[in-house]
Amino acid sequence: MSQFSYQDGVLHAEGVSLAAIAAEHGTPTYVYSKAALLGNFASYADACRGRDALVCYAMKANSNLAILDLLARQGAGFDIVSGGELQRVLAAGGDPRKVIFSGVGKSVDEMRLALSHDILCFNVESIPELHRLNDVAGAMGKTARISLRVNPNVDPKTHPYIATGLKASKFGVAFDDALDTYRAAAALPHIDVAGIDCHIGSQLLDDQPLLEALDRLIELIDRLGDEGITLHHLDMGGGIGIDYREAGEAAPVPVGDYLGRVFARIDAWRAERYAGRPIKVIFEPGRSIVGDTGVLLTRVEFIKHGEEKNFCIVDAAMNDMARPALYQAWMDMQPVAQTAAESKTYDIVGPICESGDWLARDRDLAVEAGDLLVMHSAGAYGMTMASNYNTRGRAAEIIVDGATTHVIRRRETPAELYALESLIN
C-alpha cells in the first residue's frame, strides 16, 4: 500500500499534507515516508528469515544518514562504492562488518580505510585491483576478504546505461577468466577468498536474467570446489525494479517471489551437489528499498504556451533529479491539490539553461502558476545524483513518520556552494 494518497483532495505523505510541507520548508524538496522505507526493507528481511542471508542496502540509491540509520537499526548491511560512503555508514552507526565494497576503481586510501574498519568483503573487479589490495593489506599486516565480481554476460533487458553484466561492461571479471582469477587470488598471501558476486543491472522487471546469472555462478562454484577453493558466500547483487507507473510497462517481480525462487534453486543445488557445505546468500538491493518511498515536491513558476508545445516551468530541475535527462526515464507527475479545471498537455521543465532540463514530457495536467506538483518514486537516484549546476542549492530532504515531519537535510545556500573557493590576489 502506497504511503502517498489523496485526503480531502490534497496529496499526503502518511498523515501530513504535502502542501503544508511546501509552506513550511519551501520547494523543491524531497519527501520520504518512514513507513514505506521500513516496509520495503521488511519484504527482504521476511523472505530471508530463518536462512543464512544478509541484505546489504546499495546506498548509492540514497545515502542520507537518517535513512542509513533507520535501515541499520533493522539489521541491514550496506553495499558501498566509495570511501566516502563507508564514512557515511560509520557516521550513521552502521556495522562495518556488514559492509560490501564494490566498484571498479578503489584507491589505495579507500582500501586502507576499509581494511582498518575490517569490512565484511571487497568485491574485486579486476586482476590489477586484486594485486593492489594484496599489497595494501600486506603493508598493513592484514588479510583482505574478497569476492570476485563475475560478469556472467547475461542480458538484463534494461537501459544500456544501467546494464552491468554484459561483455562490453566495465564491471566485473569476465566469466571465462574467472577460474584463473580465483586461482591467482587463492595464491596471494594477504587475500582470503570468501565468496562470489555478480550484479547484472538495475531496474529489472523480470527475474529470469537474475536466475540465469545464478545458474552460471553455481556452475563456477562447483568448478572452484573441484579445485579445493571453497566459497563461503554467494552475492546476487541487486537490481529488482520498481513500478514507475508508465502506461504499458510490465509490473516488476515481487521481491518475495524473486527471493523465493533464488532460495529454491540454491536449496536444490545444495541438496544435489553441495550438501553439508554452508553458504551465506547476500543481496544488494537499493532502488527496490528506497525508490517508491519518496517524492520530489516542486512548485509551478510559469505556464508558457509555445507554437508547438505548452510548458509547465517548475522550480525543480535536472540538477535536482537527473534521471529523465540522463536515462530518458519516465517519472509520474501529479498535482498536490486535485481540481476539476480543464487539463492541457505540457512538458514539465526546469529553469536551468539547458534543453535537456526536463522532468516529464507530454503530460495532461490541470495546473496554474503557483500550484504544487510531485514527482513520484523519486526516492532513489534523486538526491544522490543531484548537483549544484547553475549555482543551485540542493533540495531539502524531509522524512514523514505518521503525523510528524523531520528535516533530515536542510536546503543549501549559495554562500555554502562557494565557501570552498577563493580569489586570486
* Residue 354 labelled as part of a binding site: yes
Question: Could you tell me the three cell numbers for 129?
Answer: 585491483
* Residue 394 labelled as part of a binding site: no
Listed residue (25, 38, 45, 43) closest to 67, CA to CA = 38
Helical spans, DSSP H, in 140-232? 175-186, 208-226
* Residue 239 labelled as part of a binding site: yes
The Cα–Cα gap between 383 and 57 comes to 16
* Residue 381 labelled as part of a binding site: yes
Helical spans, DSSP H, in 15-106? 18-25, 34-48, 65-73, 83-91
Give the DSSP H or E segment for 349: strand 344-349
- The answer to whether the beta carbons of residues 11 and 21 sit under 8 Å apart is no
Told to judge if 198 belongs to the known catalytic residues of this protein, a careful annotator would answer: no
What pairing do the DSSP bridges indicate for beta strands 53-58 and 77-80? Answer: parallel
Of the residues 56, 121, 198, 353, only one is catalytic, namely 353
The Cα–Cα gap between 296 and 213 comes to 34
**Strand order from edge to edge, sheet including 10-13:** 4-7, 10-13, 16-17
* Residue 287 labelled as part of a binding site: yes
Listed residue (108, 97, 164) closest to 136, CA to CA = 108
* Residue 392 labelled as part of a binding site: no
Q: What is the DSSP letter of 240?
A: B
* Residue 327 labelled as part of a binding site: yes
Binding-site residues for substrate sit at 287, 323, 327, 354, 381
Binding-site residues for pyridoxal 5'-phosphate sit at 239, 284-287, 381
Binding-site residues sit at 239, 284-287, 323, 327, 354, 381
- The catalytic residues are 353
